[in-house]
Chains A and B, each alone.
Chain A
Amino acid sequence: MTLLSRSLLAAFALSTALSTTLAGPGMAQEPPASARAAEAADGETRIGVIYRPVPPPSSYDAEAVPQDEGVAAGRMAVADNNTTGRFTKQTYALDEVALEGGRSAVEAARELVGRGLRYLVLALPADEVLAVADAVKGEGVAVFNTAAPDDRLRGPDCRLNVFHVIPSRAMQTDALGQFFRLMRWSKMFLIVGPSDNDRAYAEAFKTSAKKFALKITAEKPWTFGPLARARGDTPTRSEAMVFTRGVDYDLAIVADEAGDWGDYLPFRTVDARPVAGTQGLIATTWHPTLETWGAAQAQNRFRRFAGRLMRPLDYQVWAAVRTVGEAATQKKTSDPKVLVPYFSDPAFSLPAYKGVALSYRPWDRQLRQPIIVVQPKTVVSVAPEQGFSHQRTPLDTLGVDEPETACKLR
């Protein structure tokens, strides 16, 4: 039940940067005394991050989820905010809560809000995002959802105080749908895993298929268990090998959000067909091979900062924390009463290594953003694709548009 406060870390990073400079030759730049006085008057902007660390793997796992996934980039974003803050006389700190055991996110959120925090970044599933949002309702708190892609959070279950940094499932499947349309691949074989999330992904894909005139020629449930997690020498049931026989399709679409079996399919289909969806060719926010639009700088900086590659959840937490910093810079204040409404103001924009400025859709608080379509070794394309236009911005061709939204913000 420990509340891990790492705000010291941000302060440490900043002071290290300054002391390195002071130790260097020549004249060094220190924030002028007036800046420090203003800091005291204006106060420090504290941003809470609530996450549940994934337990380490029991044996070797080449792609084990890092313990600090997401939160590591929150630390980098606070350091970035503080670098800018030196010139705007604003300071930031991160309050980290790693939920251990059965500790509830609501309890952690209430404690942070009770200590005066007004920005909560959640790397948690949809139900917990909703519970936290409702628990802090009316407190002037902005909740950032960085990990739950559920469309219902942007639809019937939307909340006025929740800003979605992670793209919805609809945005992810629309990104793939646009790319398939562009490539004129039209026949889809949809394979759906056993979880609710897998079924939700499959539903989103079906909606995208309609939108982009793709045909689902077959749909089958995956019933062979987590074969992607099996060892190479494990005997495979023959049914899994012949499962794809007799289907007429261009592309196998796997709906496996947990990553249990989707990676089993590539090169094991009876006909030689590529695999896409949650594995194979995927739609995401970040990838180690992304290097355009300054992403190479972020990749390098993050690797130095965290000692590992930057992952999509890292990017999403970074973007959430930077949203606060960027709004504070643009509005020249750290007053949450000014900043929270500003996040979804059309004038707000967040540069975030995607070549265009990102912003939050006013109707459902979803961050509009380009989505990269990527295979394990390279970025294949970036959605929105050429030719998909929208009266507002091509970014709004991804996901649920204003006229179709089921969200009534309250």
Chain B
Amino acid sequence: MSRGARAGLALAGTALATLAGLVLAGPAQAYMVYVTNEKGNTVSVIDSTTLAVTATWKVGRRPRGVTTSKDGKELFVCASDDDRIDVLETASGKTLRSLRSGPDPEQFILGPAGNPLYVANEDDSQVTIIDIEKNKILAEVPVGVEPEGMGLSPDGKVLVNTSETTNMAHFIDTTTYQIIDNVLVDARPRFAEFTADGKFLWVSAEVGGTISVIDVAARRVIKKITFKIPSVTDEAIQPVGVRLTKDGTKAFVALGPANRVALVNAQTHEVEKYLPVGQRVWQLAFTPDQKLLFTTNGSSNDVSVIDVEAGKVVKSIPVGLLPWGVAVSPN
């Protein structure tokens, strides 16, 4: 995923960074796109060059959050109703093992070094931090009601969790596992995403209908982005997934039942256009080269593919039942 790739690049000198560098320089690279189907209990695998589904893998119940290991060899899937995280081998689609995640894991984010994994336990008002190699819980941090969104600063030092019913962004120090601060945002915050420079944090509010841009150092909301679409009621505009380009110019915001992805100028915070996608669009993921963006459309059971440079939807791909999360292989 974008953050994983970004973090990989930051680790100059490692074999992985070299590999990622080669990838970016080379011709169109085939990435694997993994989509969790919440009601299908499967993962749909899409080839980013052919834009076709190449495999469908069975996983645990109610798969939602999804991410890949840093080397791309493993896929982590929150099996929310089985209270565990499934680890799949991406070469074969086989489930290798399961991680102790704490109850009802919904979203998670991997540390920049590839370990640990930070997990939001939705039904349990806590964040669980897991050492994925030892399959050991390192800490549990109590947060607000129905934790969901998980953002990590580029240096990996600050974790942000959003709690949907408490309506806060909780800032957690990843060395002490203590909450540093809590910032009140609008109703039902679903997703948190840091800018590449780590200075700002974007938090979506599904019921509030806004994006709060938070100054990370001051931990203060400096801007609230709102959306207006002709022929769509304000109530239907429900921001969920947020992705920012590495160059800091563009932001994409999934607007749920408005069936649009907003393309926002990340500098001026002005909405530039609304891209029509499938129904009830929630999560978003870039390819590591950031040429394509994939969206999960829960009600129409498909994935829309957006050409990032052109700002256009180029394809829609049918997947399983109720697609929820999406992750792209780093290589």
Residues of A in contact with B (beta carbons under 8 Å apart): 17-18, 21, 24-29, 80, 83-84, 86-88, 294, 297, 300-301, 304, 329-330, 349, 351, 355-357, 389, 393-395
CB-based contact B104/A25 at 8 Å: no
CA distance A179 to B165 in the complex (A): 30
Contact of A351 among B136, B184, B187 (CB under 8 A): B187
CB-based contact B145/A21 at 8 Å: no
Residues of A contacting B188 in the complex (Cβ-Cβ under 8 angstroms): 294, 351
Residues of B contacting A26 in the complex (Cβ-Cβ under 8 angstroms): 129, 137-140, 177
CB-based contact B126/A297 at 8 Å: no
Q: State how many angstroms separate the Cβ of A38 from the closest Cβ of chain B.
A: 14
CB-based contact A25/B145 at 8 Å: no
Per-residue CB contact flags for chain B residues 216-251 toward chain A (1 = under 8 Å, else 0) read: 000000000000000001010010000000000000
CA distance A300 to B136 in the complex (A): 26
CA distance A399 to B167 in the complex (A): 29
CB-based contact A300/B104 at 8 Å: yes
- Nearest A-chain residue to B165, judged by Cβ: A80
B314 within 8 A of A: no
CB-based contact A300/B167 at 8 Å: no
CB-based contact A329/B141 at 8 Å: no
* Interchain pairs with CB closer than 8 A, number: 95
CB-based contact A355/B145 at 8 Å: no
Given contacts A80-B145, A297-B122, contact A29 B178 (CB under 8 A): yes
CB-based contact A355/B125 at 8 Å: no
CA distance A84 to B182 in the complex (A): 10
Closest 3 CB pairs of A and B: A26-B139, A351-B187, A84-B166
CB-based contact B144/A83 at 8 Å: yes
Contact of A304 among B123, B146, B235 (CB under 8 A): B123
CA distance A351 to B187 in the complex (A): 6
Residues of A contacting B137 in the complex (Cβ-Cβ under 8 angstroms): 24-26
B168 within 8 A of A: yes
Q: State how many angstroms separate the Cβ of A359 from the closest Cβ of chain B.
A: 11
CB-based contact B238/A24 at 8 Å: no
Q: State how many angstroms separate the Cβ of B219 from the closest Cβ of chain A.
A: 13
Q: State how many angstroms separate the Cβ of B232 from the closest Cβ of chain A.
A: 11
Interface of A is mostly: helix
- Nearest B-chain residue to A332, judged by Cβ: B184
CB-based contact B166/A87 at 8 Å: yes
CA distance A28 to B238 in the complex (A): 34
Q: State how many angstroms separate the Cβ of A14 from the closest Cβ of chain B.
A: 10
B3 within 8 A of A: no
Q: State how many angstroms separate the Cβ of B321 from the closest Cβ of chain A.
A: 13
CA distance A300 to B142 in the complex (A): 19
CA distance A277 to B3 in the complex (A): 52
Contact of A393 among B166, B208, B235 (CB under 8 A): B235
Residues of B contacting A17 in the complex (Cβ-Cβ under 8 angstroms): 125, 142
CA distance A304 to B121 in the complex (A): 15
CB-based contact B207/A27 at 8 Å: no
Q: State how many angstroms separate the Cβ of A117 from the closest Cβ of chain B.
A: 23
CA distance A27 to B167 in the complex (A): 24
Residues of B contacting A300 in the complex (Cβ-Cβ under 8 angstroms): 104, 123
Residues of A contacting B320 in the complex (Cβ-Cβ under 8 angstroms): none
CA distance A83 to B143 in the complex (A): 7
Q: State how many angstroms separate the Cβ of A39 from the closest Cβ of chain B.
A: 16
CA distance A301 to B147 in the complex (A): 13
CB-based contact B233/A24 at 8 Å: no
- Nearest A-chain residue to B128, judged by Cβ: A24
Residues of A contacting B140 in the complex (Cβ-Cβ under 8 angstroms): 21, 24-26, 28
CB-based contact A351/B168 at 8 Å: no
29 of the cross-chain contacts (CB-CB < 8 Å) are: A17-B142, A24-B137, A25-B138, A25-B140, A26-B129, A27-B139, A28-B139, A28-B141, A28-B142, A29-B141, A84-B144, A84-B163, A87-B144, A87-B168, A88-B182, A294-B164, A294-B188, A297-B122, A297-B123, A297-B164, A300-B104, A329-B167, A329-B184, A349-B187, A349-B208, A351-B167, A351-B187, A351-B207, A393-B235
Residues of A contacting B145 in the complex (Cβ-Cβ under 8 angstroms): 80, 83-84
Residues of A contacting B257 in the complex (Cβ-Cβ under 8 angstroms): 355
CB-based contact B184/A27 at 8 Å: no
B196 within 8 A of A: no
Given contacts A329-B184, A349-B187, contact A301 B123 (CB under 8 A): yes
CA distance A330 to B144 in the complex (A): 15
8 A Cβ contacts from B159-205 to A: 163-168, 170, 176-179, 182, 184, 187-188
Residues of A contacting B170 in the complex (Cβ-Cβ under 8 angstroms): 87
Q: State how many angstroms separate the Cβ of A121 from the closest Cβ of chain B.
A: 18
Residues of A contacting B176 in the complex (Cβ-Cβ under 8 angstroms): 27
CA distance A271 to B142 in the complex (A): 58
Per-residue CB contact flags for chain B residues 247-267 toward chain A (1 = under 8 Å, else 0) read: 000000000010000000000
CB-based contact B177/A29 at 8 Å: yes
CA distance A97 to B163 in the complex (A): 32
CB-based contact A355/B238 at 8 Å: yes
Per-residue CB contact flags for chain B residues 129-159 toward chain A (1 = under 8 Å, else 0) read: 1000000111111101110000000000000
Give 17 new A-B contacts, CB below 8 A, not counting A25-B136, A26-B138, A87-B170: A18-B142, A24-B139, A28-B141, A29-B179, A84-B165, A84-B166, A86-B142, A294-B146, A294-B188, A297-B122, A297-B123, A300-B123, A351-B165, A351-B187, A351-B207, A355-B257, A356-B235
Given contacts A27-B177, A87-B144, contact A355 B166 (CB under 8 A): no
Residues of A contacting B235 in the complex (Cβ-Cβ under 8 angstroms): 355-356, 393-395
CA distance A356 to B233 in the complex (A): 11
Residues of A contacting B138 in the complex (Cβ-Cβ under 8 angstroms): 25-26
CA distance A349 to B136 in the complex (A): 40
CB-based contact A29/B142 at 8 Å: yes
CB-based contact A356/B207 at 8 Å: yes
Q: State how many angstroms separate the Cβ of B205 from the closest Cβ of chain A.
A: 9
Residues of B contacting A356 in the complex (Cβ-Cβ under 8 angstroms): 207, 235
CB-based contact A83/B141 at 8 Å: no
CA distance A300 to B145 in the complex (A): 13
CA distance A271 to B322 in the complex (A): 38
Residues of A contacting B208 in the complex (Cβ-Cβ under 8 angstroms): 349, 351, 357
CA distance A395 to B139 in the complex (A): 44
Residues of B contacting A355 in the complex (Cβ-Cβ under 8 angstroms): 207, 235, 238, 257
CA distance A220 to B69 in the complex (A): 68
- Nearest A-chain residue to B189, judged by Cβ: A351
